[in-house]
Amino acid sequence: MSEPGQKLRLGALIALVVGSMIGGGIFSLPQNMAARADVGAVLIGWGITAVGMLALAFVFQSLANRKPELDSGVYAYAKAGFGEYMGFSSAWGYWISAWLGNVGYFVLLFSTLGFYFPVFGQGNTPVAIGCASLLLWAVHFLVLRGIKEAAFINQVTTVAKVVPLLIFIVIAAAAFRADIFTRDIWGLSNPQFGSVMEQVRNMMLVTVFVFIGIEGASVYSGRALHRSDVGKATVIGFLGVLALLVLVNVLSLGVMTQPELAGLQNPSLASVLEHIVGPWGALLISIGLAISLLGALLSWALLCAEILFATARDKTMPQFLAQENANHVPANALWLTNVMIQGFLLITLFSAGTYTSLIYLASSMILVPYFWSAAYAVLLTFKGESYQGQPGLRRKDMLVALIALLYAVWLLYAGGLKYVLLSALLYAPGVILFAQAKREQGQVLFTAWEKLIFAAVLAGAGLAAYALYSGLLSL
């Protein structure tokens, strides 16, 4: 555990939540949404997302307060409620989602620089990947210096990257035109969009990606100076980010038409502001994006290492991942994370991977951890555990937990079979580390129930591998 000097206060926890959620997603939001839905569906989708994600935020807040002994949030809740393999799988999926998001951030960062320096192209040229690799290892050695020092830098970058977004919101609000906003509310001129509910479904993985990080304070619950700050940071961070996301998306739809937005190159927010005020607007957003991505890369480097460390500390993952350096940083976990990022950066170079495909895959990997966290909250309220003498609060928390669970199920459906299969392909290899941890403890690998779950994962992975090989499925 960390020494008192390494403990994080409320401001640092809020910055971790906001810094984790505000990465590259918000800067590409206008194009990402317009390519999948028109105004009416976008508003409905944000309504569903606001209710669902707020319910998840309250779930994390409630669990942080009622189960203070369960540190590291997402993973710990799955294990406590549904066994060691589900706990391991949640940690594994969350970890993969986190570093896949970082790969996407690197691609987007150098794609942005490609606007001004053609040698970077779409962020996946040899020069771009080389520079991304240098930046990756610079962040790596920064984090190795200490959690507290890196968290302080994250607070600074969080403040810096919000300023261009606020400037955009003020300018876009002044330029907003109702006739553009209401021109084709239900997307009738785009039959390829399908029905309104199909449009809502198609935009769901984008909304998930921009909110990944809502559980950031829960992951750091073991390092919080005051346990009660964990829930506060989660809800405060969520509400602030929700306001920014909705305003950026909705105001853009009143500045440029849906077809214009859908045709923009990412980061599309730069082009929207350039449309309003000229070239300096694109430069402002590009600078804001660069700061935002650097902060997000730092936040997720911290989160990736912490989730592996916490899982290994209670022996669900191999013990080598529980080792800390002199600065109380889980060094081995950080090395494993960044080696994987480096590997996927090289894969991106040779496969011409895009930002959008990476964020969709990252979003799909986070759905299972969110599902099990909500399911654990439902289980607690159903049993009445920790609710003695509080029947009214128990009923309220049960309703919130059920909403969060239904939202998690809806997201799995909205993601579609493709991403369920790709997720299974990434979940399956994790059993190697799980088996090593079990051997270290001299325990049986699976219970009878866990054997059935792993068989289903293997079947999905097999189908995904065959579909990729035969060309039926692609990233």
Q: What is the pLDDT of residues 336-366, one digit of tens each?
A: 999 999 988 888 777 655 666 777 777 788 8
Burial class from Cβ neighbours inside 10 Å (0-12, 13-18, 19+) for residue 350 reads: exposed
What does the alpha-carbon distance between residue 61 and residue 66 come to, in Å, rounded to a whole number? Answer: 9
φ/ψ (deg, to 5) at 8? -105, 130
CB 379 within 8 A of CB 405: no
**161-183 CB burial, b ≥16 within 10 A, e <16:** bbebbebbeebbeebbeeebbeb
- 46 contacts 246 by C-beta, under 8 angstroms: yes
Per-residue CA distances from 424 to 40, 100, 294, 325 (Å): 33, 15, 30, 33
- Token pair recorded at residue 425: 């392909």
Question: Measuring CA to CA, how many Å separate 304 from each of 18, 270, 290?
Answer: 16, 29, 21
Report the alpha-carbon distance of residue 249 to residue 29 in Å, rounded: 6
What is the pLDDT, as a whole number, of residue 101? 81
| DSSP H or E segment with residue 4 | none
Instruction: Assess contact for 286 and 119: CB atoms under 8 A.
Output: no
The pLDDT of residue 274 is 94
Q: Which residues contact 421 (CB under 8 A, 6 or more apart)?
A: 460, 461, 463, 464, 467, 473
> pLDDT band for position 4 (50/70/90)?
very low
Greater model confidence, 276 or 105: 276
Q: What is the mean pLDDT of the chain?
A: 84
Q: What is the pLDDT of residues 377-434, one digit of tens each?
A: 999 999 888 888 888 889 999 999 999 999 999 988 887 788 888 888 889 999 999 9
Q: Which two tokens stand for residue 408?
A: 């998690």
State mean pLDDT over 185-213: 83
Contact yes or no for 262/190 (Cβ under 8 A)? no
Those residues whose C-beta lies under 8 Å from the C-beta of residue 24, and which sit 6 or more positions away, are 104, 105, 108, 109, 267, 289, 292, 293, 296, 355
Residues 6+ apart with CB under 8 A from 49: 204, 207, 211
- For residue 76, how many C-alpha atoms fall within 13 Å in the half-sphere facing its CB? 22
Question: So what's the pLDDT on residue 266?
Answer: 73
State the amino acid at position 383 in one-letter form.
K
Average pLDDT of the residues in 103-125: 83
Which of these, 18, 15, 26, 49, lies nearest to 245 by C-alpha position? Answer: 26
In terms of average pLDDT, the best of 8-22, 115-129, 351-365, 450-464 is 450-464
pLDDT, tens only, 285-341: 888 888 777 777 776 777 788 778 888 888 888 999 988 888 878 889 999 999 999
Predicted TM-score (pTM) of the model is 0.81
Angle at 72 between CA 66 and CA 76, to 5 degrees: 70
In one-letter notation, the amino acid at residue 108 is L
Kindly give, in sequence order, each residue whose CB lies less than 8 Å from that of residue 261, ignoring residues fewer than 6 positions away: 30, 31, 33, 34, 35, 252, 253, 268, 272
Which pLDDT score is estimated for 1? 40
Task: Enumerate helices (H) and strands (E) in the chain, giving the number of each.
Answer: 20, 0
Mean of pLDDT values over 253-278: 91
Q: What is the pLDDT of residue 68?
A: 76
Task: Report DSSP state, residue 25.
Answer: H
Cα torsion angle, 75, 78, 80, 83, sign: negative
Residue 136: per-residue pLDDT: 92
Question: Quick one: average pLDDT of 250-255?
Answer: 95
Report the distance separating Cα 210 and Cα 104, nearest Å: 12
Question: d(Cα 436, Cα 66) in Å, to the nearest integer?
Answer: 32
The confidence band for 5, taking pLDDT boundaries of 50, 70 and 90, is: very low
The CA angle 369-371-13, to the nearest 5 degrees, is 55
What pLDDT, on the 0 to 100 scale, is given for residue 251? 95
Percent of the chain beyond pLDDT 70? 89
**pLDDT confidence of residue 3:** 45
Distance (Å, whole) CA 394 – CA 382? 9
Dmax (CA) for the chain in angstroms is 68
C-alpha closest to that of 111 among 97, 132, 96: 132
Query: Which stretches of 56-174 are assigned E, i.e. beta strand?
Result: none
Residue 72 confidence (pLDDT) above 70: no
Q: How deeply is 102 buried, as exposed, middle or buried, from its count of CB atoms within 10 A (0-12, 13-18, 19+)? A: buried
> What is the amino acid identity at position 155?
Q
Closest CA to 366 of 101, 167, 120: 101
Buried b / exposed e over 401-412, threshold 16 CB at 10 Å, is: bbbbbebbeebb
